[in-house]
Structure 1
């Protein structure tokens, strides 16, 4: 009987895992588009109402996740609270923001979606081994990429290598070209981190992801991928045989990285001009300048969790620029929604994640280089894109997976909480 119950529980958890990836990697949204579901969010009303099919599957995922906490011995509410105090402080502040939100119902619904991402990510990180989960993630990224390529070819969309034809960028099954490009880039970084080069299948995965990245026409995603892979390779090279040696080597690696960053900064405009791109981050500077008065109106607490673009305050901006959905910067976006307090809590959480990843590296964990590369890369790209704490972002899925896996690996290595 116990054996039968264990098999049933394992099947249940594998079903949750599959639903998690189908939902967060946009396959459900993609399929619902063919069934007449609304997948675009081009107006305030569409963004506020969302995709009904997605909402149903999201609620199903939340229900299955919450149910898992009751029957799985590997899950504990007390353990979750104990290990994630800083994250919980941020979550509690988000809840309090409902009281001053300019669109409280929208804040509530998006908070439920945000909580679903956090809880379901924690669940699968706890019940599956790190290696098996990361391997599954890479294989799933490859499968989604192939589906996107086939769909693009069958739909007759044009493709082009290079960085001069943004309208021809390979977006695959995703709505946003840049999100798709980062998706391919994360796959490359993960493959390098897992050192999967031994068999022909893995070489095929690498070639497919690299070609897709080049077809995406995204300079930022290419830069992100190069930085991420460089961090993984560099950190693996500088890994020490013990904690003291790892700390010393990490200090050397940090100094070398600073030298490289300064050199790239001086060549920044030249490189972008060489690639035919705007050094001004594609009008982002103008967008931020226009949003600054709204930030100044509510500087401390903002407009409420995920509420600004659904409220009346954004009307003046939308009338001029149209509906863009977010500030194209995670740091500006949180200033709009949660003010300076929210920004400080966000930076505190990122710093906490960074410290956990460094602790993992010092303890010579096999996956520490990948964890560090993800938190560093996302903290950087969050400046020019709404990535961190965006529950609709593929980046955020990977962010929380690596965050919870980092804690899990530290606990496995005997880290004291």
Structure 2
């Protein structure tokens, strides 16, 4: 039995397989630390074999992916100056293969399929966490919160906010009939409930901002390109003014107080300070990829002890750019910041300055969510994270998948022969 290639790699025909692959990926990103290598192998199994189905689809226009390729190369090269070369080598291979899977996904599945598969995956992730029903003390916040099957309330909050976001996006842009309201309702209610009990300030605060961005970009559809640019400038100015007011008028302390936090973000600013001091030791190239939080290293051991991390693993500076600065130096943090900003601004500019597209609005909102979270979490620097997968997918989607055309062999026209098979005599 021969399986048609289209049901695997054609974005218009592979919706079933694509949604399944995305759902498997989301579950793997969430619980690979719980179930071990089996989920990571499943993640690779749904994406990497597609390279061999039609390699020409993936080898054309590789120059469009130069920025992620540059970063992956730099991460791999950090092995040569890393303080823990073996750890850096293994992590670099994992991160590079993670980028490759996002590239394959961008070339084979549509944005609607990504949203649908994410909804399915998030539903199983939240359902399993609800079944485990775990609670733990957050050493940073000093509070006792719901963590589900995770080790952190922030991860529960992230997947809950992602479920709310994609439910609203699916109903607003991709639903086909009224039945969509019925099958998305359980996930939407579950996401809202788990976001409420997780008490994750980052997830709660970032969601309204991102939905506001999506609403503004959606409203721009009825405007001409000239007025879209005005709306973009006004919106950007209002955002800058809002940040300035939050910092200078005490609004930031008021908002943080609603979540039981203060202006120090309950320990995060101390971690940022420690990260900045660590970065001064090797400011240009850093310690090496994944080479700072290593057992036996004095600074890492000290911070683990100060924050009561008894496992001595799985900790970070709670800021993507501080963490990248420590591990990869100014060179690495510059490239990673360009990747995130290029992905976000690329889709916003397509909506504002080009032809309005629902897919670009959705990806601008999703990447915007990851951009906001990058200032408080580290989800872009490591492999097997939903945030990094979505950002790289969105970056690769800025260029549409190449259309592979079959070469046509030229067949010279043949002279017609009469019915009796004899050629007419020359004149």
Q: Distance in 1 between matches of 2:288 and 2:164?
A: 36
Partner of 1:191: 167
- Deviation for aligned residue 1:264: 3.9
Describe the superposition over 1:132-169 as per-residue Cα deviations: whole angstroms up to 9, x where unpaired: 221221232123212322331xx7x59xxxxx984232
Residue 51 (structure 2) pairs with residue 69 (structure 1): yes
CA contact (8 A) 1:295 1:335 kept: yes
Q: Cα–Cα, structure 1 residues 264 and 136, in superposed 2: closer, same or farther, change >3 Å?
A: same
Residue 297 of structure 1 aligns to a residue whose secondary structure is: coil
How far, CA to CA, are the matches of 2:8 and 2:390 in structure 1?
28
Are 1:375 and 1:399, in contact at CA under 8 Å, matched by a contact in 2? yes
Mapped partners of 1:195, 1:5: distance in 2: 30
Alignment of 1:154-173 (within 5 A): 166-169=143-146, 171-173=147-149
Pair 1:381 & 2:373 matched: yes
Partners of 2:231 and 2:96 in 1: how far apart?
A: 38
Q: Which one has a larger percent helix, Structure 1 or Structure 2?
A: 1
Kept after mapping to 1: 8 A contact 2:27/2:122: no
Q: Distance in 1 between matches of 2:361 and 2:243?
A: 18
- Equivalenced residues, count: 379
**Cα distance, 1:337 vs. partner?**
0.6
Superposed CA deviations along residues 249-308 of structure 1, whole A, max 9, x for unmatched, are: 222322333343334443110222243222211211222223333211111100111111
Aligned to 2:182: 200
Normalising by the residue count of structure 2, what TM-score does the alignment of the two structures yield? 0.78
1:176 and 2:152 correspond: yes
2:288–2:327 contact (8 Å) kept in structure 1: yes
Counterpart contact for 1:192–1:229, Cα < 8 Å: no
* SS of corresponding position for 1:310: coil
**Greater C-alpha Rg:** 2
Q: Does the aligned pair in 1 maintain the 2:18–2:114 contact within 8 Å?
A: no
Given the superposition, is the C-alpha separation of residues 239 and 390 from structure 1 closer, same or farther in structure 2, using an over 3 Å criterion? Answer: farther
C-alpha contact 1:281 1:384 (8 A) present in aligned 2: no
Change (3 A) 1:172 1:187: same
CA RMSD in angstroms comes to: 3.1
Aligned to 1:50: none
- Measured after TM superposition, the shift of residue 4 of structure 1 is 5.7
| TM-score normalized with structure 1 length | 0.80
Question: Of the candidates 337, 345, 358, which is equivalent to residue 355 of structure 1?
Answer: 345
Pick from 253, 265, 270 the counterpart of residue 281 of structure 1.
265
Structure 2 Cα separation of the partners of residues 208 and 60 of structure 1: 26
Counterpart of 2:425 in structure 1 is: none
Contact 1:240 1:246 (8 Å CA) reproduced: no
Label 1:69 to 1:297 Cα distance change in 2 as closer, same or farther (>3 A). Answer: same
